[in-house]
Amino acid sequence: KEGILYHIYPSSFKDSDGNGIGDLEGIRSKLPYVKSLGANTIWLSPVFRSEFEDGGYDITDFYRIDPRFGTNSQLVQLVREAHDLGIRVCLDLVAGHTSDKHPWFRQSSEADPELQYSDYYIWSDSKDSFPTKKFVRSDAARDGNYMKNFFDIQPALNYGFANRTRGWQQAPEDPAPMATREAMKDVMRFWLSNGCDGFRVDMAGSLVKNDPDGAATVKLWQDFRAFLDAEYPEAALISE
């Protein structure tokens, strides 16, 4: 209720080194300007490592700043200087999918069902099933097509199905969707422990699939909020 947000798309905001792409140092240099506008919170569009086939929303590493923007240390310094000016910094948490180049998805594509990330994504049970716009026909070693969220290069992470209509669909409380949830909590922990103040959450209302009344999605976010209240009570979550 008290936040006055200034949204920054880093690539086009301020280029500090003359390579034609905005960066964290450029943003840091403009913090007094943001303060002068009366804003007390910055929301950064995605700055994590990415193939940039969808403006940074196809992430390959949640724990590293993309080199085009700078380094993890530069983000920490940006946050510190923002705090000195009374400005909070919220990152963009892309919780619903990754890039198909992400190591999680590459492992998930393998034939061994016992690998750690095998079911972190949503796979149908046959390459002949579900020839729909939501599923991508895959030549992965495992049998099945994978669900995407937007483009083919954005496989959907598995938070479960509120209403299961197929045998390969998992409930939100099943082990794999719960593991996906814990992995995203770990991402939040990492950046909050480095001084960030919270997250704008991409696709926040659509993580659980086949959830027409939103009840399972609400329950999911109540769990995330309870985790934050226990460990980072001042952290903000802003739903898309």
Q: Which residues are catalytic?
A: 202, 240
Query: Can you tell me which residue has the tokens 């190591």?
Result: 103
User: What are the residues whose beta carbons fall under 8 Å from the beta carbon of 223, sequence distance 6 or more?
Assistant: 181
Query: Can you tell me which residue has the tokens 């309870």?
Result: 226
How is the chain split among helix, strand and coil, in percent rounded to 5?
30, 20, 50
**d(Cα 174, Cα 126) in Å, to the nearest integer?**
21
**φ, ψ for residue 144, nearest 5 deg:** 135, 165
- In the DSSP assignment, the letter for residue 76 is H
Q: Which two tokens stand for residue 57?
A: 């929303």
Our measurement of the distance from residue 29's CA atom to the centroid of its chain's CA atoms, rounded to an integer in Å, reads 26
Residues facing residue 125 across a β-bridge: none
Residue 126 burial class via C-beta count within 10 angstroms: exposed 0-12, middle 13-18, buried 19 and up:
exposed
Q: How many other C-beta atoms can be found within 10 angstroms of the C-beta atom of residue 84?
A: 9
**Greatest extent of the chain over all pairs of C-alpha atoms, in Å:** 58
